[in-house]
Amino acid sequence: MYQSLQDSGSSANPYPETASLILIVDDDPFIRLQLRLYLQKEKYQVAEASDGVTALEAYEELHPDLILLDAVMPTMDGFACCKKLSAIPESERPPILMITSLEDQKSVDQAFEAGAADYITKPIHWAVLRQRMRRLIQQFHLQKQQTLLYNQLEAANQQLKYLALIDGLTHVANRRQFDEQLEQEWRRMIRQQTPLSLILCDIDFFKLYNDTYGHQAGDVCLQQVAAALNRSINRSGDLVARYGGEEFVVILADTELEGAIHIVKKIQANIQALEIIHETCPNHYITLSFGISTVIPSQGTLPETLIAAADQALYQAKALGRNTFCTKVHSINKLNG
């Protein structure tokens, strides 16, 4: 078993809490004692292991800032241990300083090939050890700080990207994300020659709802409707977006007209289940009108044709009294309708 500072025979911790932790790996108890006493004098925290196997166990539990590793040990030597540690991601891997009596060129090359950051020979030159330890620990801490800053920057960039593509009120995709995904799916459907469906929907008598219940209630209504729309789709490639005001749009790739109608019926059921009271409209509850368009995109056509067709179908649904859906299919693409 390896030994940490607390179980290495010392009754009190002489090191500052912020001191770097160094793992000593050597099968010679006398060498370990020499190193521990020296490191104690230098105000480092210390853990010890007598071979490569226990060194790996110590690393897994303690995650030291530096490993002082002997090359020649029983069970697992320093070179094999170093190779094992080199499999750890670089941003998390502590530097390894080999301390050994071997000083031939082959052993030095083997140490660096195994992943050692530096190499010194026995008998130990303490001033050299001190400087090399300090340099390696400083580099390791700097690398950890850089990794942390990089991860924080990545997280901030992801958050900014999310905010740029999400409608702040309803938390579904915004118009920008809709435009980008529609263009992307349009090109994909051209290559595959499969149908692309679009659902354009509008909350019936929403201005009257705002006038009756106030804009805060209107905002809550928009959020509830957006959530109901999201619950109505189940494929990762489908997208619900706020198109503008009280209008929403749903992109359904690889979807025939029948599939789009099925989704509209799911949306209607989910909206009905909300039971959002709207006493001043004919149905006394919030309802939606829908325009559905389906097309197999072809070279020379634009996504705007699909939007225009859905808009025409939505206009027809409103003309029929709202709370219904109408469809528009492009016959030029050999779809029936």
How far is the first Cα of the chain from the last one, in angstroms, to the nearest whole number? 77
Between 122 and 224, the more confident residue is 224
What's the pLDDT tens digit per position in 182-228?
A: 999 999 999 999 999 999 999 999 999 999 999 999 999 999 999 99
Q: Which of 267, 222, 266 is nearest to 244 (CA)?
A: 222
> Mean pLDDT, to the nearest integer, of 112-124?
88
What pLDDT shows up at residue 332?
A: 42
Domain residue ranges of the chain, discontinuous segments joined by + = 3-149, 175-333
Determine the Cα–Cα distance for residues 103 and 109; give it in Å rounded to an integer: 10
pLDDT mean over 237-245 = 94
pLDDT at 108: 83
Output the CA angle 309-183-311, nearest 5 degrees: 20
* 131 token code pair: 């400087």
Q: Record the tokens describing residue 135, joined without a space.
A: 């340099």
User: Is 60 annotated in the active site?
Assistant: no
CA dist 305 and 294 (Å) reads 10
Q: Report the CATH number of the 3-149 domain.
A: 3.40.50.2300
**Class assignment of domain 175-333?**
alpha beta
Span 142-179, pLDDT tens digits: 988 998 899 999 999 988 888 889 999 999 999 999 99
For residue 84, with 0-12 CB atoms within 10 Å meaning exposed, 13-18 middle and 19 or more buried, which class applies?
Answer: middle
pLDDT at 316 over 50: yes
Rounded CA-CA distance 249/233 in Å is: 12
pLDDT in the model for residue 122: 85
* Mean pLDDT calculated for residue range 274-302: 93
Instruction: Over range 296-312, report the average pLDDT.
Output: 93
Residues 6+ apart with CB under 8 A from 278: 205, 208, 209, 212, 284, 285, 286
Give the tokens for residue 124: 């130990």
Burial readout 132-158 (b: 16 or more C-beta within 10 A, e: otherwise): bbeebbeebeebeeeeeeeeeeeeeee
Residue 103: band (very low, low, confident or very high) from pLDDT cuts 50, 70, 90? confident
Cβ atoms of residues 253 and 184 within 8 Å = no
Please identify which of the residues 17, 57, 185, 246 carries the catalytic annotation: 246
